[in-house]
Structure 1
C-alpha cells in the first residue's frame, strides 16, 4: 500500500496462522494516521480484512493507494467545511474506514469487489477517483 499524502509505502503481513500480528497492526495504524495532525488511532482489524479481501478480488499486482485512513475530529471538521461529502460522524474518526485508489482498476471495479465481501460500507467517488470502504453496516452509495 502507498500513502498518497506522505509518500510512504508499506507491504506488511498482519495475519499469520489464524492470528493478527500485533507489531504489524501498530505499523499499519501509524501508516493510516491523520497525516495533517500526525495523530494515530488503532485501525479496526475488520477494515483491514475488507481491504485485503478486496485487493485479492480485483487481482491487481499494484498496491492500493491510501488517500485517507484515520481522521482526527479537527481534520474531519475542516474537511466538512470544505466539502459536503464528509460525514459528521465519519467512521474515519473511529479508525474504521479507508479511502482507496488503484490506478489499474476503476472505482466501479474496486467498489464491486468490496461490496461482494458483504462486510461494511462501500462508497463510490468516481469524480475523485477513489472508493471508500468501512466496517460499519452493510450499505453502498455514490456513482
Structure 2
C-alpha cells in the first residue's frame, strides 16, 4: 500500500495483556520512521515470552487505512500481534481450533484487535471492505484478526 500524500500517519494502541500504551507517527512525508517502527516492534512483541519480532510496516498501513475508514482516533486494543514459533505451537496445542500452524502472527503480518466504542461487526466489515488482506471475525472472543496476507475471510 502506498503511503500517499498525508504528512504523517499516526496510530495509537493499548495492549490488553501488558497494559502498555503507545501513540506515535510511524510514517512522515511518505517515509517510514525507523525509530517509530522499532518502538512498535517492541510494543507488539510476543507477550508470552517477550520475544521481539519485526512487524511488517504494511500491517500498520492497513491499520491506518482502517482507522480512516472508520473515522476513529481511539486507540486500537491489541490482543495479540507477534508470536514466536514456540508460542504459536503452544497455543495450537492448548487452544484447539483457531490457531494456524503457519500463522502470519509469526511473520509480523497479523494482529488481533478491537476498538472501544466500535461494534465488532463494524470493525470486521470495514476491514473486509478494504480488501487488503485476511479478516477473521471472533465474536465470542471479542476481537477481529487482520493480516496482510492474501485476501480471505472467516
Q: TM-score, normalised by structure 1?
A: 0.95
Q: Which protein is richer in strand relative to its size? A: 2
**What secondary structure does 2:79 align onto?**
strand
Deviates more, 1:67-76 or 1:57-66: 57-66
Match of 1:81 among 78, 90, 93: 93
Contact 1:44/1:95 (8 A) holds in 2: yes
Look up the match of 1:28: 40
**What secondary structure does 1:13 align onto?**
strand
1:103: how far off? 2.2
Look up the match of 1:100: 113
Over the residues paired in the alignment, what is the CA RMSD in angstroms?
Answer: 0.9
Q: Which runs of 4+ in 1 moved over 4 A?
A: none
Match of 1:58 among 70, 75, 85: 70
1:126: how far off? 0.6
**Higher relative contact order at CA 8 Å, sep ≥6: structure 1 or structure 2?**
1
Unaligned runs of 5+ in 1: none
Q: TM-score, normalised by structure 2?
A: 0.88
1:42: how far off? 0.9
Contact 1:96/1:136 (8 A) holds in 2: yes
